[in-house]
Structure 1
């Protein structure tokens, strides 16, 4: 059985990290939902925009796999960049799409958690003041629609770098949103907050860069595994990432990666045949 996780929120959940900046994460037992079916995960997982890139879910899944070596994990990408909390209101398109995708996933998997990152589009005192009330309605309805009342909800904080970027004027109240996100997690059962402290952005000053996304995924999994808030980094995140990056590929994974390069035209036919034959003889 596939253990699946619903990914919802805005662009920092979808991921905008530059793939060229980090090593590949590839595991035949990490799946992503496409057209209602499970495929082996490849990034971008959450292709909501042409600028989609590395997100937190890949390292979350890879760390999960370290503790569940006989099982498969599935990622259900439903995040959408630039969206405010009102866009996710019950009955609106994003909410309905998440329910629809999750129900498709439930045919062949069991939802074990919800991953949420959103708030950059709600950085004002007025919106922050209403955040918990609005968010509670969304999560309560989502749990009811999918019949997942007790699965953990992991919520990530906004980056401390936001006020210092080129659009920093729009994020001067980011700390108010972080306060509400953490407050929600502290006051609701089966909900855990993850800090974004010390993480760094892309040049736009808005989106976590690829390495920070990888670290954030590690933090999300720690909160999920331990069922505790992660308010400060108390693990060696880089050591965990190195372990993930240095994992030896299976024969199936080597073949799939080679097939991908051939399909993209990066390998000539004769070289493809030579390499795939060599893999087969391992």
Structure 2
């Protein structure tokens, strides 16, 4: 049985990190939902925009795999960039899509948790004041509809860099949202808050860069594993990330990566057959 996780929120959950900036994460036992079926994970996992890139879910899943080496994990991508809490209201298109995708996943997996990152679109004192009430309705409805009342919900804080970026004037009150997110996690069962302290952004000053997304995913997993809030960075997160990057590929994984390189035109047919034969003879 696949252990699956629902990914919801806006662009920093979908991921906008530049893939060229970080090593690949590839594991035949990490799956993602595509057209209702499980495929081996590749980034971008959550292709909501042409600018989609590295998100937190890949390192979350890779961290999970370190502790569950005999099991498979599945990611259910439903995040959508630029969306507010109102866009995620019960009955909205995004809410219904998440329900639909999660129900498809439940045919062949068990949903073990919900990963949420959102708030940049609600960075005003007025919207922040209503955040917990609106968010509670969304999460309670999801839990009820999917019959996952005790599945841990992991929510991440907004980056401290937001007021200093290109669009900083729109995020002057980001700390109000962080306060509401943390308060929500503290006051609701099966909910844990993860800080974004120390993480950095792409040049746009809005989206976590690829390395920070990797670290954030590890933080999400540590909160999930320990069922504890993570108000500060995890002191060994870089060590965990290095372990993930240095994990040797299995034979199946090497064959899949070779197949991909041939399919996208990065190697010639003769070289593909030669390498294919070499791997097959090992």
Question: Normalising to structure 1: TM-score of the pair?
Answer: 1.00
The Cα offsets for residues 15-57 of structure 1, whole Å up to 9 and x where unpaired, read as 0000000000000000000000000000000000000000000
Secondary structure at 1:138 match in 2: helix
Give the Cα–Cα distance (whole angstroms) in 2 for the partners of residues 71 and 54 of structure 1. Answer: 23
Matches within 5 A, 1:40-119: 40-119=40-119
Matches within 5 A, 1:168-183: 168-183=168-183
Structure 2 partner of 1:191: 191
Matches within 5 A, 1:1-282: 1-282=1-282
Give the Cα–Cα distance (whole angstroms) in 2 for the partners of residues 11 and 167 of structure 1. Answer: 15
Question: Normalising to structure 2: TM-score of the pair?
Answer: 1.00
Secondary structure at 1:193 match in 2: strand
Q: CA deviation at 1:233?
A: 1.7
The Cα offsets for residues 231-275 of structure 1, whole Å up to 9 and x where unpaired, read as 012431111111000000000000000000000000000000000
Q: Displaced runs of 4+ in structure 1, greater than 6 A? A: none
- Number of residue pairs matched by the alignment: 282
The alignment yields a C-alpha RMSD, in angstroms, of: 0.4
Q: CA deviation at 1:222?
A: 0.1
Give the Cα–Cα distance (whole angstroms) in 2 for the partners of residues 70 and 122 of structure 1. Answer: 41
Give the Cα–Cα distance (whole angstroms) in 2 for the partners of residues 17 and 281 of structure 1. Answer: 37
Secondary structure at 1:103 match in 2: helix
Give the Cα–Cα distance (whole angstroms) in 1 for the partners of residues 234 and 101 of structure 2. Answer: 35
Contact 2:5 2:111 in 1 (8 A): yes
